[in-house]
Amino acid sequence: MSDPTRMTAAALADALACGDLSSEQVTRAHLDRIEAVDETIGAYLHVSGESALAQARAVDERRAKGEDLHRLAGVPIAVKDVMTTTGIPTTAGSKMLQGWVPPYDATVVAKLKAAGLPILGKTNMDEFAMGSSTEHSAFGPTRNPWDLDRTPGGSGGGSSAAVSSWQAPFATGTDTGGSIRQPAALTGSVGVKPTYGAMSRYGLIAMASSLDQAGPCARTVMDTALLHEVMAGHDPLDSTSIDAPVPDVVGAARRADVSGMRVGIVKELTGQGFAPQVQARFDEAVQHLVDAGAEVVEVSCPNFVYALGAYYLIMPSEASSNLARFDAMRYGLRVGPQGVDAPSAEQVMAASRDAGFGAEVKRRIILGTYALSSGYYDAYYGNAQKVRRLIADDFARAFETADVLVSPTAPTTAFRFGEKTSDPTAMYAGDIATIPANLAGLPGMSLPSGLAEDGLPAGFQVLAPAMADDRLYTVGAALEQRLVSAWGGQLLQQAPDLATTKGA
């Protein structure tokens, strides 16, 4: 039997079902891998080894008794630290919540537990999911397994790096402006942002409520589909959750047939502004789809040029409102202002928010406060909401001539630590291809398209109309089949071996 950490979630599920492996063996193998390499990668903020093994043993006992289990029961998973977990600390990458153990599970976490997936731990992230590099975590950065001097992208860099360094078969993420898809692109893994409302936001520590969306991260399109199926569905605890059947994403991934499908290349999301080698891998991937029987059409979305501006007004506006809950009164950090006897609640609040929030979070809260302030509201927030409508209309027109839209996921491969931290607008520009889908609430997938000349992975993005998430999986799986065949195996098998520090 092969090393369980090198197997896909689908293969692990099969091996567990036929008794070739136990969940305890699989879970322990991943915990050993975490111990061996995570000091180098920094993918996890908290490893919950004992509870994961207890969950694994419970699944093994139920299977031994012949109980009818979920097909993924016993396959371990990593959870982004923005999702609340009972009994496991949840920090959202912030000092503000250091040591906080939530009294309830996020709905998506409850679904993972109900399906019998042992939780390996909580993955690192930019503080409150604000960032595109995982450098803004209060607990140190995550490193890209392909090159330790480079970021894994963000904000879900921990989840993507855990998956791409064989420390978890799959993981959960959240995507507000690209936080699942962009790190997937930079680490050579697969990430999906479902239709807004397709997965519950209950128990996700909110950044921007009209944009945040939970989704799956994995190494293959089929594994993301399997996890998507577990996480999705209506939740009465989330008033924005869609009460409609979940598309058959697993069936779509299995079908992988794009013959006759119209694939739209978004003119504004290719060419200028994208690194030549990223563009070259994209062009080759499009040719693979053509070879598989797809028809390529060019579509224009002229208002996408305003998407970045609209996003960086709407997101901080909603974030400034959502993060008002961190007031040092009911949970989280509380510190008093220096040199003040018997400080007021307001003074304690201001001192705690200064001590608990990092620079990027403060910047966005203050930007949001500005955008919502009297006299500027119409010029900034109001106009941004109008641009949002223009972008949704652009998508609607494009989907009249195309079944799916495609683009490179990110303009470049992984960048070096510190390369963009001094220039926030340069960092923000990295999300240019992912943000439009968040503004319009549409589903998107990133999968690897190959290596650029710097030896680092490039990402291929597929976008679909709302509630047509299954199309992402059909196109993604068809492309993956052809690329894996051309590469002679998964792209991740070309990643450099990581030095092990202990336990291996």
- Contact region with other proteins (CB under 8 A), list: 13-21, 174-182, 257-265, 321-329: 321-329
DSSP annotation string for 35-53: HHHHHHH--EEEE-HHHHH
The only residue of 351, 405, 406, 491 in contact with other proteins, by rule CB under 8 A: 351
| Cβ contacts of 239 within 8 Å, gap of 6 or more | none
Q: Does 493 help bind other proteins (rule: CB under 8 A)?
A: no
Selection from 294, 43, 91, 45 nearest residue 189 by Cα: 43
| Cβ contacts of 230 within 8 Å, gap of 6 or more | 70, 72, 111, 112, 115, 117
| 155 included as an active-site residue | yes
* Cβ nearer to other proteins, comparing 315 with 402: 315
**Helix runs in 402-444, H state only:** 424-429, 435-440
DSSP-assigned letter for residue 496: P
Own/partner pairs for 345-351, CB < 8 Å, 24+ apart?
none
| 80 included as an active-site residue | yes
Q: Round to whole Å and give the CA distance between 48 and 156.
A: 19
* Cβ nearer to other proteins, comparing 389 with 397: 389
Q: Does 259 help bind other proteins (rule: CB under 8 A)?
A: no
- Contact region with other proteins (CB under 8 A), list: 161-169, 200-208, 343-351, 473-481: 343-351
Residues 444, 192: contact at Cβ < 8 Å? yes
Using CB under 8 A as the binding rule, the residues of this chain from 142 to 171 that contact other proteins are none
- Contact region with other proteins (CB under 8 A), list: 3-11, 389-397, 468-476, 477-485: 389-397
Q: Does 196 help bind other proteins (rule: CB under 8 A)?
A: yes
Over the window 205 to 244, marking each residue x when it contacts other proteins by CB under 8 A and - when it does not, the resulting string is: -----xx------------------------x--xx-x--
**DSSP β-bridge partners for residue 436:** none
Using CB under 8 A as the binding rule, the residues of this chain from 394 to 433 that contact other proteins are 423-425, 428
Shortest spacing between CB 270 and other proteins, in angstroms: 20
Question: Length of the chain, please?
Answer: 504
Q: Round to whole Å and give the CA distance between 469 and 477.
A: 13
- Contact region with other proteins (CB under 8 A), list: 152-160, 184-192, 217-225, 341-349: 341-349
* Cβ nearer to other proteins, comparing 88 with 263: 88
Shortest spacing between CB 195 and other proteins, in angstroms: 9
| 193 included as an active-site residue | no
Q: Does 345 help bind other proteins (rule: CB under 8 A)?
A: yes
Given the residues 23, 132, 133, 155, the one annotated as active site = 155
Selection from 256, 266, 321, 305 nearest residue 479 by Cα: 256
Given the residues 22, 48, 179, 407, the one annotated as active site = 179
Shortest spacing between CB 85 and other proteins, in angstroms: 13
Q: Does 98 help bind other proteins (rule: CB under 8 A)?
A: no
Shortest spacing between CB 216 and other proteins, in angstroms: 20
Q: Does 117 help bind other proteins (rule: CB under 8 A)?
A: no
Given the residues 23, 80, 132, 160, the one annotated as active site = 80
The only residue of 129, 192, 440, 464 in contact with other proteins, by rule CB under 8 A: 440
Tell me the two tokens of residue 347.
């003074």
Selection from 121, 235, 130 nearest residue 172 by Cα: 121
Tell me the two tokens of residue 280.
């070259």
How many chain residues interact with other proteins (CB under 8 A)?
Answer: 76
Q: Round to whole Å and give the CA distance between 435 and 376.
A: 23
| Cβ contacts of 203 within 8 Å, gap of 6 or more | 83, 84, 102, 104, 105, 106, 107, 108, 109, 110
The only residue of 226, 261, 313, 405 in contact with other proteins, by rule CB under 8 A: 313
Q: Active-site residue numbers?
A: 80, 155, 179
